[in-house]
C-alpha cells in the first residue's frame, strides 16, 4: 500500500484542502489538529492492531533529529578554512560543494590517497587536515546543533509506546550519532539496554541486548563511544545548560567510535562493535513477528539496505517505509530521464515488492512522511482492543444495563 498526499486530501475533502494549500493547512494546528487526527483514524487503528506483534522496531535516520536543531547534511561544505598555498587543490575541492556530504568526503579521501601514492607528503597532509576539520565540522555544527531541551516529538513517541504498554518490545535501530533517545529515556525514567554493561567503566557487551528492556542500538556508533585498548567504552556525556551535548573528541582528544559517512563505512561494519550491532538487527528482523518503521532515513547506506532486503524473507513482518522525498515515485522509473541513485534503486525495489505482497507500506511526501506528522497523527496513543476484548466489553455493558 502506498499512501501520499492524495490519500490525505481525500480524507480532508470536507475541509476544502488541495495540493496547493495542504502544507499551509497542516501548519495551522489550531484549525487542522482535529481534522488531521480524524483523517488518520483508519491507518492509526490498523497500526494499533499490528503493535501486538512480537517486536516494535524503528530504523531512525537524521531526518528525525532535524526539528530539534540537527542540520540536513545536504548543506555540508567541505572547505571552510583553506590554505592559499594549495590553490589548485582548493579549486578542485570547491567544485565538489554541489555534491552530498558522503561524495565530498569520498573525493577528498581519493585525492589524499593519490598524493600518498606519489609521495607528495605536503599535499597529503593538507588534505588530511581538511578531512579532520570536516569531521569536527560534522560533529560540532550538525550533530551538536541539537537543542536537548526541545525534544517534544521524541517524548510524545515514547509516551505513546508506554501508554500502549509496548516499551519492552521496543527496538530502536538508530543511524544517528546524537544522544536524543538516551536523553529522553532518562528524562522519562525509562530503563533501556544499549549493549553496554557496568557503571563506572561501561564496556560494550552485545549479550546485554537480550533482556526485557527497550533497546537502543546505535548502528553507526555514538558521540560518547570510545576505543580504549581492546574495549569499546561508553562515557558519561556532558551537557551545557542541560541542552547541548559536548564534543568529547575535542574536549578530551579521544577518537570517537563512529562510522563517518564515507565509502569506508561498509568495511567498518565488519569490525567490532558494528558487526555485532548489524547482526543483532538482522537477527531481530528475521525471527518472530515484527513491525518495522523506517523513518528519517535517506536510503543511501548499502549495508543497511541489504539488512532490510534480507529481512523481507520473514513473511510475518509488517513494514512502513517513509519516503520523505518521494524517491519511489513513478518518475524514478522513466527510461534514462533520471539518474538512478542507490536510494532510488532501493525504494523502487521496495515498491515493486509491495505490489506483490500486503505487508509492505510506503508513506510518501514531505507532509505525511515527516517524523512530526507520524508521531502526532499516525502513531496510536492507545492499544487497539481485539475483537474478543470488544465483545467482552459489550457483554459487560449489557449485563450492567439489564442488571439495574
Whole-number Å distance between alpha carbons of 84 and 93: 13
Confidence band for 153, pLDDT divided at 50, 70 and 90: very high
Q: Are residues 266 and 305 in the same domain?
A: yes
| Buried/exposed code over 192-231 (b: 16+ C-beta within 10 A; e: otherwise) | bbbbbeeeeebebebebbeeebbbbbbbbbbbbbbeeeee
Helices (H), 76-146: 87-94, 101-117, 121-141
pLDDT of 131 above 50: yes
In a domain, 375, yes or no: yes
Q: Which of 373, 363, 21 minimizes the C-alpha distance to 12?
A: 21
8 Å CB contact between 300 and 343: yes
- pTM (two decimals): 0.86
Q: Residue 390: what pLDDT?
A: 67
11 or 388, which is more confident?
A: 11
* DSSP SS3 for 383: coil
pLDDT of 134 above 90: no
Q: Are residues 47 and 125 in the same domain?
A: no
Q: Are residues 256 and 113 in the same domain?
A: no
Q: Are residues 225 and 93 in the same domain?
A: no
In a domain, 27, yes or no: no
In a domain, 29, yes or no: no
Q: Residue 281: what pLDDT?
A: 96
In Å, how far are 61, 140, 169 from 150, measured between CA atoms? 18, 18, 26
Q: Are residues 268 and 374 in the same domain?
A: yes
Q: Are residues 81 and 182 in the same domain?
A: no
Q: Residue 335: what pLDDT?
A: 42
Instruction: Give the CATH number for residue 156.
Output: 3.40.50.1220
Q: Chain-centre distance of CA 105, in angstroms?
A: 21
* DSSP SS3 for 51: coil
Convert the pLDDT of each residue in 236-290 to its tens digit.
887 765 556 654 544 456 677 888 777 776 667 667 888 999 999 999 999 999 9
Q: Which of 141, 167, 190 is the last residue of a domain?
A: 141
Domain count, the chain: 2
In a domain, 313, yes or no: yes
Region of 229 (left: φ > 0; alpha: ψ -120 to 50; beta: rest) is left
Q: Residue 42: what pLDDT?
A: 92
* DSSP SS3 for 362: strand
Q: Residue 334: what pLDDT?
A: 44
Q: Which of 19, 13, 20 minimizes the C-alpha distance to 38?
A: 13
In a domain, 368, yes or no: yes
Q: Are residues 325 and 183 in the same domain?
A: yes
Report which listed range, 58-62, 121-125, 209-213, 342-346, is most confident.
58-62
Whole-number Å distance between alpha carbons of 171 and 58: 6
Q: Which domain holds residue 182?
A: 40-70+151-387
* Average pLDDT of the chain to the nearest whole number: 85
Helical (H) or strand (E) element with 181: helix 180-187
Q: Are residues 222 and 201 in the same domain?
A: yes
In a domain, 102, yes or no: yes
Q: Which of 95, 116, 141 is the last residue of a domain?
A: 141
84 or 292, which is more confident?
A: 292
In a domain, 228, yes or no: yes
231 or 372, which is more confident?
A: 372
DSSP 213-249: S-EEEETTEEEEEEEETTEEEEPPP-EETTTEEP-HH
Q: Are residues 200 and 212 in the same domain?
A: yes
Q: Are residues 189 and 281 in the same domain?
A: yes
Q: Which of 116, 141, 166 is the last residue of a domain?
A: 141
Q: Which of 223, 221, 209 minimizes the C-alpha distance to 170?
A: 209
In a domain, 162, yes or no: yes
Mean pLDDT of 10-16: 85
Convert the pLDDT of each residue in 164-184 to its tens digit.
889 999 999 999 999 999 999
Region of 288 (left: φ > 0; alpha: ψ -120 to 50; beta: rest) is left
pLDDT of 8 above 70: yes
Share of the chain above pLDDT 90, in %: 41
The burial of 303, by beta-carbon neighbours within 10 Å (0-12 exposed, 13-18 middle, 19 or more buried), is given as middle
Q: Are residues 122 and 179 in the same domain?
A: no
Measured distance between the N- and C-terminal CA atoms of the chain, rounded to whole angstroms:
48
Q: Are residues 112 and 54 in the same domain?
A: no
Q: Residue 250: what pLDDT?
A: 43
Q: Per DSSP, what are the bridge partners of residue 351?
A: none
Read off φ and ψ for residue 231, nearest 5 degrees: -110, 150
Mean pLDDT of 23-36: 88
In Å, how far are 191, 208, 209, 307, 346 from 284, measured between CA atoms? 20, 14, 11, 11, 21
Q: Residue 253: what pLDDT?
A: 62
Confidence band for 23, pLDDT divided at 50, 70 and 90: confident
Sign of the C-alpha dihedral computed for residues 185, 188, 193 and 199 taken in this order: positive
Amino acid at each position: 500500500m502506498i499512501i501520499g498526499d492524495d490519500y490525505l486530501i481525500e480524507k480532508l475533502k470536507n475541509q476544502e484542502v488541495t495540493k496547493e494549500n495542504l502544507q499551509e493547512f497542516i501548519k495551522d494546528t489550531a484549525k487542522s489538529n482535529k481534522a488531521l487526527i480524524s483523517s488518520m483514524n483508519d491507518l492509526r487503528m490498523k497500526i494499533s492492531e499490528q503493535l501486538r506483534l512480537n517486536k516494535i522496531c524503528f530504523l531512525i535516520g537524521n531526518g528525525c533529529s532535524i526539528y530539534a536543531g540537527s542540520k540536513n547534511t545536504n548543506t555540508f561544505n567541505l572547505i571552510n578554512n583553506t590554505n592559499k598555498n594549495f590553490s589548485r587543490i582548493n579549486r578542485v575541492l570547491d567544485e565538489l560543494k554541489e555534491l552530498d556530504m558522503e561524495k565530498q568526503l569520498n573525493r577528498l579521501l581519493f585525492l589524499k590517497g593519490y598524493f600518498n601514492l606519489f609521495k607528495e607528503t605536503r599535499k597529503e597532509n593538507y588534505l588530511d587536515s581538511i578531512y579532520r576539520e570536516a569531521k569536527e565540522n560534522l560533529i560540532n555544527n550538525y550533530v551538536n546543533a541539537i537543542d536537548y531541551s526541545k525534544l517534544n516529538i521524541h517524548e510524545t513517541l515514547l509516551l505513546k509506546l508506554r501508554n500502549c504498554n509496548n516499551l519492552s518490545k521496543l527496538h530502536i535501530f538508530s543511524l544517528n550519532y546524537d544522544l536524543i533517545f538516551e536523553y529522553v529515556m532518562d528524562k522519562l525514567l525509562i530503563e533501556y539496554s544499549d549493549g553496554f554493561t557496568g557503571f563506572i567503566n561501561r564496556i560494550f557487551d552485545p549479550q546485554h541486548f537480550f533482556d526485557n528492556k527497550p533497546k537502543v542500538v546505535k548502528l553507526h556508533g555514538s558521540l560518547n563511544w570510545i576505543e580504549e585498548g581492546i574495549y569499546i567504552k561508553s562515557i558519561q556525556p556532558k551537557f551545557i545548560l542541560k541542552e547541548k551535548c559536548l564534543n568529547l573528541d575535542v574536549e578530551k582528544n579521544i577518537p570517537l567510535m563512529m562510522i563517518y559517512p564515507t565509502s569506508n563505512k561498509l568495511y567498518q561494519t565488519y569490525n567490532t562493535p558494528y558487526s555485532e550491532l548489524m547482526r543483532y538487527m538482522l537477527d531481530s528482523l528475521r525471527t518472530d513477528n515484527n513491525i518495522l518503521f523506517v523513518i528519517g532515513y535517506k536510503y543511501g547506506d548499502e549495508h543497511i539496505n541489504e539488512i532490510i532486503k534480507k529481512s523481507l524473507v520473514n513473511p510475518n513482518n509488517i513494514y512502513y517505509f517513509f519516503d520523505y522525498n518521494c524517491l519511489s515515485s513513478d518518475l524514478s522509473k522513466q527510461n534514462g530521464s533520471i539518474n538512478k541513485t542507490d536510494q532510488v534503486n532501493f525504494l523502487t525495489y521496495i515498491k515493486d515488492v509491495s505490489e506483490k505482497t500486503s505487508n509492505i507500506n510506503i508513506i510518501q511526501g514531505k507532509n505525511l512522511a515527516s517524523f512530526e506528522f507520524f508521531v502526532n497523527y499516525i502513531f496510536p496513543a492507545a492499544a487497539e482492543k481485539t475483537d474478543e476484548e470488544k465483545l467482552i466489553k459489550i457483554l459487560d455493558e449489557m449485563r450492567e444495563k439489564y442488571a439495574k
